[in-house]
Structure 1
Amino acid sequence: MDSGARKHILITFGRSFLTLNLARWLAAAGHRVSTCDSLPITVSRYSNAVSSFHRVSPPKFKPQEYCREVAELVKSEGIDMVIPIHEETDIISMMAGLFPSTCELFLSPFEVEDMLHNKFSYQEALVERGFQTLKFAKIASAEDLPKLDFDTPFAVKQTYSRGSQQVYKVQPGDSLDFLTYDPTNPWIAQEWLEAGDRYCTYSVCRDGEVFAHATYPVSYAIDGNSCLTFEHVDHPEILEWVQRFAKSVNFTGHMGLDFFDHPVRGLYTIECNPRATSGIMMFTRENRVDRAFFGENTDVISPTPGRVTMIGVGMALYGWRKNAKPRNNFRTFWRDFRAAHDVIYDPQDRKPAAMLIPAYAAILTHGYKYKVGLAEAFMHDHEWDGHKI
């Protein structure tokens, strides 16, 4: 593709607020944007930044059909670049051969995507490349339980999982007999850090170089995991860490990392999300993050410091609760709620906010179908848990 030329870009997972915001930034820069999703009603579908919406099969349950349909869209609509948002990234990367060479897939080869997505192989990759890690071990069957030698609290979670799913905090000697085992999705035991500041990052990378980056401390969050508010902070050590790691795996795509900055032991990453994360919503049209997807900028693009954004509907549902933030109370919540910029409402693009109720109704119906709660229903049919196609 010619640098600086107007492109036709297809963004997946149209229900996502990430997709909506990215569509706005790309369209503002002059690109034509289409979106797709397995749900018929999504917030991005009604954005004036989106020229066309396409309904496709659910990638989790019909991965081959999904990839063929997206590949057909690329051909019929003249798509120049596909930017996957959630874990359909892994599925598309597995079936990249279906897509014409004239279209760029904004992702890495499947071997890299899978290595980063899998929480155990990611920790192994860190060790191989000389990055310090928390103590970790794989639990593939009950036979591995007696081999665990943690003398401090540790977390247990599946190697393919995400923030909306269960993480168990375990004390040394606690029984883990409740675990069930999937040969394609084992568990990882990982040292639990109490001290230190928690940060999340979002980076746009091409060929091992970081072109856009955001670092934000964990503040308001659903059960302490899924962030609801976002404010970019300057943390040079984290940026340098991300740049060094992205180069070490020659990564192309979105990369989100969860960090602990321990006051004595330094930086540790808990896990890697080789896909879009909420950090994309911290940028504005003026930041011109669109350039990062094509590698057109020379300096790393970052959001404006001091500007707080929020998922307004999430804050309204969860932000006022005591477990949303340490020492939370309604007065501080209300102050912070009023000061933050909602990622959905945009005076230049009002329809997505107006369509929130029907969009959420579609997600709730989806959750009822699969017997999962609202938070998990949001992404349930776009998850990938290690099953090869």
Structure 2
Amino acid sequence: MNTKKSVLLTGGRAPATLELARLLGAAGHRVIVAESARRHLCQHSRYVERSYQVPPPRQQPDAYVEKLCEIMQRERIDLLIPTCEEIFYVSRGRDQLLGFGDVLVERLDVLRSLHDKWLFAEMAREVGALVPQTVRVQSPAQLREAVQQAGGPVVLKPVYSRFAAHVRIIADPSSAAGQSTLPEPTAEQPWLVQQFIKGRQVCSYAVAHDGQLTLYADYETTHTAGQGASIHFVYAAHPQVRDFVTRFVRRHQFSGQIAFDLIENERGELYVIECNPRLTSGVHLFTEQREAAAAYFSRLGNTVVPAGDQTCMLGMAMLTYGIAGLTNKDKAKRWASDLFSARDVLLTRDDPRPFFDQFWMLADLAWQSIRTRKSMIACSTSDIEWNGEEA
């Protein structure tokens, strides 16, 4: 029986995808990458046998799926693993792709419910989780009314968003309700007015097959890119978080990759905030754990968790966003300690090229940002993001 597989990864631009490629490659699997960006981190990794440039999924969804089918057939792919937000377009073409190999993705209706922050809150409540009080608004008038009626600080966010790019925290709702700078939600682009929960932020990442966890990690959010994604990772082994994730995937018989953002308040109560049904940075906690690769293929007899006391980071992000967030001496000491004790997830002795490729990628994004007058973060997802569009 041949245990070595040919795997196709999409989303080669992400550090997490590079980590997964290295993990699979080190375990002896053959890794192919499909990416719509001209430059990406996996392009010259020694663990990637071949890289294909494909049509942008957001702008050309049909051509994108057709190209993936062509690659799967040509490379005799055993398993396709989507990693970034192009996962929704892969899911859209799931039935077509399954004719050429296995695909680690749920149906689009399942992913829609998880990606929609309003619908996901209802799913979380169904398994007994605490969820912040939330109001869905579809007009500026509804938003102002919801903010005005809030009994304390609130968070404003689009129903579909990523990296906390549009999140706003309103500390004093009574004075903010009449501001002209508030967002303007519509029926097509609704927003949420959500109770602000103060406390410890924790993220989780898992892989499941038919409702059973095969891989699991969680980590506390200590350093972030602005208000967005974590850039420093230490396994937290939070029992309440693992219990919620286990119950959620079992209840919904979920198969695929799934990640959650949660907050533990000062009383130890755990609130579930939102879900990312895709690969996230939690995979960095499994570096060099070859047994973790098997978790992506099928159910195992156990759940793989991070081994040892690994601490890792996105080095460039720690230097840029980290320095910008130094507002007092205590934060500076914590930042310096974390910076010098963590490994950079991009820089490895046996695969150094991606570390240097990141500078070309950043230059490319900077040029796109100047040309389009959008933020670099917005440019980084402009060809893959999905905001609930109909199939």
Q: Is the TM value for this pair above 0.5?
A: yes
**Offset at residue 328 of structure 1 (A):** 1.7
Instruction: State the match for 2:14 in structure 1.
Output: 16
3-state secondary structure, aligned to 1:314: helix
Any stretches of 5+ residues in structure 1 without a counterpart?
Answer: none
Instruction: State the match for 1:316 in structure 2.
Output: 319
Sort the Cα spacing of 1:39 and 1:217 in 2 relative to 1 into closer, same or farther, 3 A.
same
CA contact (8 A) 1:222 1:324 kept: no
Sort the Cα spacing of 1:370 and 1:282 in 2 relative to 1 into closer, same or farther, 3 A.
farther
Instruction: State the match for 2:185 in structure 1.
Output: 181
Alignment of 1:172 onto 2:170: no
Distance in 2 between the 1:316 and 1:233 partners?
Answer: 23
Over aligned residue pairs, what C-alpha RMSD do you find?
Answer: 2.1
Instruction: State the match for 1:227 in structure 2.
Output: 230
Alignment of 1:1-389 (within 5 A): 5-145=3-143, 148=146, 149-170=149-170, 171-173=172-174, 174-175=176-177, 178-194=182-198, 196-264=199-267, 266-322=269-325, 327-329=330-332, 331-389=333-391
- My pick for the range that moved more, 44-53 or 284-293, is 284-293
Sort the Cα spacing of 1:128 and 1:309 in 2 relative to 1 into closer, same or farther, 3 A.
same
**Offset at residue 266 of structure 1 (A):** 1.3
> What is the one-letter code of the residue matched to 1:73?
I
Distance in 1 between the 2:273 and 2:167 partners?
Answer: 12
> What is the one-letter code of the residue matched to 1:21?
E
> What is the one-letter code of the residue matched to 1:150?
A
Cα offsets for 1:239-274 (capped at 9, x unmatched) = 111000111111111111111112326111110001
Distance in 2 between the 1:145 and 1:40 partners?
Answer: 40
Distance in 2 between the 1:326 and 1:101 partners?
Answer: 58
Cα offsets for 1:16-44 (capped at 9, x unmatched) = 11111100000111111011111222121
CA contact (8 A) 1:321 1:328 kept: no
Any stretches of 5+ residues in structure 2 without a counterpart?
Answer: none
TM-score by length of 2: 0.92
**Offset at residue 383 of structure 1 (A):** 0.9
CA contact (8 A) 2:289 2:307 kept: no
Distance in 2 between the 1:259 and 1:305 partners?
Answer: 24
> What is the one-letter code of the residue matched to 2:173?
P
Distance in 2 between the 1:380 and 1:134 partners?
Answer: 30
Distance in 2 between the 1:83 and 1:48 partners?
Answer: 19
- My pick for the range that moved more, 38-47 or 62-71, is 62-71
Sort the Cα spacing of 1:371 and 1:97 in 2 relative to 1 into closer, same or farther, 3 A.
farther
TM-score by length of 1: 0.93
**Offset at residue 102 of structure 1 (A):** 4.1
